[in-house]
C-alpha cells in the first residue's frame, strides 16, 4: 500500500520528453558565459546520439531576465515568447528545447497562465499578429536541455569513456547538485523529480557512476534574485545565499557541483572566488575550491570530449583537480591556447583562491 502511494507521487514528477527532432533555443546567459557548454550539447546530441536538433538564427532572448527585473511587462514577454514559438512552427518543428532555466520557467508560467486565462492567450495572438503578422501554436513538447540529457543518460553511459569514479581510490565521486529555482519550484510537476527531490541531475550522476549528496541547503536559491545581483548595492544578498550553500555542502567534501541553470553555474563558480578574496575562505579542494560543472560539461567529460574545447578554461575555479581524479586525458599546455595553437597569455592569479595556470 505504502509503496504504491509513493510510486504514484513519484509518477506525478515524471514528464514526457520528446526523443528526437528538437528545436533548440539558446540561453542569453549560457551563450555569454558558458558558450562552450551549448556547443557541447549540440555535439553530444548530433554527433554522439545522432539526433536531429534544429537551430534558428532568428530567435531572440525570451526577455525573461527583463521580466523578472520588472523592465519588461507581461504582455511584451508573452508576445516575444509567442514569436519564438511561431519561428519553430515555421521551421517545421514541435519540440521546444530551451537551454536556460529562467526561460524554461517562463514557458511553464505562460502555459499555465494561458490555461487558466485563455483571454491572455488571445490577447497575445492579437499582439503578435499586429506587430509581426505572425501566428503561433503552443509547442507539442517542452523539455529543458538537461531533461533531454537525462532522457539519454543510459545511452551516454553505454558509450562512456570515463565514469565519475575516483581513479585513485576506486570510490564514486561525491557530487552535489543545484537545480535552479525556476526549473521546478513554480510547477513541480514540470520538472523531473519535482522541487523537493529533484532528480534531473541526480539521475545523470548516478547513471555515470557518481554518488549524489542530499546536503541540507540543496534546495536553497543561489541568490541571483535578478535585480539583487545586477544592482551593486544589492549584491550582498546574492553572495550571502550562495555562501549559505557552500557552508552547507562543505562538510561532505564534494568533488564537484553540477548545475542545471547557466546563471547558477556562474554564481557558484564566481562567488567562490569572491568569497576567497573577500574573506580568505575557500570551501574545499585544498584551497582550489569546488569545481562547478554545467550538465553539458559533465556529459562531455563522460563522453571523452576535450575540456578546453568545452570551455572549461573559462571557469574561475580550476577544474584540473577533478579531471585528475576522474583520470581524464588532457593537455594542460593547451588550456590557454587558441584553436590553432596561438599563445593567449594567462589570466592573473587570484590572491587567495589557488588556481591552475
Which positions ≥6 away from 214 have C-beta within 8 Å?
A: none
d(CA 304, CA 297): 10
| Residue 155 or 231 with smaller CB distance to other proteins | 231
Binding other proteins (rule: CB under 8 A), the pick from 52, 159, 234, 304 is 234
Residues 307 and 330: beta-carbon distance below 8 Å:
yes
| Length, in residues, of the chain | 357
Q: Which of residues 167-226 bind other proteins (CB under 8 A)?
A: 181-182, 184-186, 188, 195-196, 219-221, 223-226
Q: Which of residues 238-267 bind other proteins (CB under 8 A)?
A: 239-241, 243-244
| Residue 61 or 95 with smaller CB distance to other proteins | 61
d(CA 23, CA 95): 6
Whole-number minimum distance, CB 145 to other proteins, in Å?
13
| Residue 228 or 260 with smaller CB distance to other proteins | 228
- Give DSSP secondary structure letters for 279-296: H----SGGGT---EEEHH
Give the total of residues touching other proteins (CB under 8 A).
105
d(CA 265, CA 204): 17
| Residue 157 or 186 with smaller CB distance to other proteins | 186
Whole-number minimum distance, CB 192 to other proteins, in Å?
15
* 354 counts as binding other proteins under rule CB under 8 A: no
Q: Which of residues 64-123 bind other proteins (CB under 8 A)?
A: 64-66, 68-76, 79-80, 83, 105, 112-113, 116-117, 120
* 52 counts as binding other proteins under rule CB under 8 A: no
Torsion of CA 300, 303, 309, 313, to 10 degrees: 60
| Residue 206 or 219 with smaller CB distance to other proteins | 219
Categorise residue 327: left if φ over 0, alpha if ψ from -120 to 50, beta otherwise: left
- Residue 316 C-alpha cell reads as 574561475
Q: Which of residues 316-335 bind other proteins (CB under 8 A)?
A: 316
Candidate segments 26-34, 135-143, 161-169, 198-206, binder of other proteins by CB under 8 A: 26-34
Whole-number minimum distance, CB 169 to other proteins, in Å?
30
Whole-number minimum distance, CB 154 to other proteins, in Å?
26
d(CA 255, CA 325): 9
* Strands of 211-212's sheet in order across: 211-212, 174-178, 256-259, 292-294
Q: 69 — phi, psi (to 5°)?
A: -105, 10
Which positions ≥6 away from 349 have C-beta within 8 Å?
A: 355, 357
Whole-number minimum distance, CB 139 to other proteins, in Å?
19
Whole-number minimum distance, CB 30 to other proteins, in Å?
8
Whole-number minimum distance, CB 202 to other proteins, in Å?
18
Amino acid at each position: 500500500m505504502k509503496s504504491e502511494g509513493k510510486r504514484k507521487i513519484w509518477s506525478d514528477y515524471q514528464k514526457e520528453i520528446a526523443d528526437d527532432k528538437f528545436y533548440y533555443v539558446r540561453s542569453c546567459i549560457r551563450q555569454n558565459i558558458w558558450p562552450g557548454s551549448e556547443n557541447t550539447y549540440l555535439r553530444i546530441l548530433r554527433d554522439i546520439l545522432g539526433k536531429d536538433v534544429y537551430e534558428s538564427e532568428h530567435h531572440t532572448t525570451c526577455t525573461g531576465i527583463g521580466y523578472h527585473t520588472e523592465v519588461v511587462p507581461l504582455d511584451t514577454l508573452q508576445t516575444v515568447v509567442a514569436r519564438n514559438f511561431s519561428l519553430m512552427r515555421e521551421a517545421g518543428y514541435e519540440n521546444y528545447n530551451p537551454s536556460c532555466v529562467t526561460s524554461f520557467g517562463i514557458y511553464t508560467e505562460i502555459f499555465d497562465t494561458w490555461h487558466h486565462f485563455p483571454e491572455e492567450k488571445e490577447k497575445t495572438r492579437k499582439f503578435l499578429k499586429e506587430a509581426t503578422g505572425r501566428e503561433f501554436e503552443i509547442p507539442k513538447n517542452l523539455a529543458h536541455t538537461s531533461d533531454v540529457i537525462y532522457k539519454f543518460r543510459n545511452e551516454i553511459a553505454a558509450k562512456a569513456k570515463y565514469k565519475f569514479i575516483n581513479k585513485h581510490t576506486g570510490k564514486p565521486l561525491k557530487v552535489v547538485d543545484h537545480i535552479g529555482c525556476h526549473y521546478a519550484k513554480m510547477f513541480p510537476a514540470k520538472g523531473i523529480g519535482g522541487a523537493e527531490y529533484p532528480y534531473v541531475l541526480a539521475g545523470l550522476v548516478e547513471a555515470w557512476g557518481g554518488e549524489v549528496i542530499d546536503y541540507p541547503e540543496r534546495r536553497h536559491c543561489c541568490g541571483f534574485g535578478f535585480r539583487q545581483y545586477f544592482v551593486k548595492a544589492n549584491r550582498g544578498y546574492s553572495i550571502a545565499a550562495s555562501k549559505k550553500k557552500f557552508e552547507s555542502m562543505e562538510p561532505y567534501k564534494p568533488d564537484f557541483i553540477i548545475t542545471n541553470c547557466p546563471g547558477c553555474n556562474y554564481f557558484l563558480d564566481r562567488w567562490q572566488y569572491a568569497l576567497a578574496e573577500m574573506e580568505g575562505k575557500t570551501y574545499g579542494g585544498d584551497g582550489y575550491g569546488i569545481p562547478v560543472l554545467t550538465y553539458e560539461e559533465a556529459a562531455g567529460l563522460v563522453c571523452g570530449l576535450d575540456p578546453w574545447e568545452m570551455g572549461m578554461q573559462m571557469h574561475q575555479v580550476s577544474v584540473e583537480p577533478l579531471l585528475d581524479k576522474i583520470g581524464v586525458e588532457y593537455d594542460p599546455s593547451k588550456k590557454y591556447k587558441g584553436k590553432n595553437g596561438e599563445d593567449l597569455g594567462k589570466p592573473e592569479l587570484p590572491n587567495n583562491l589557488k588556481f591552475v595556470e
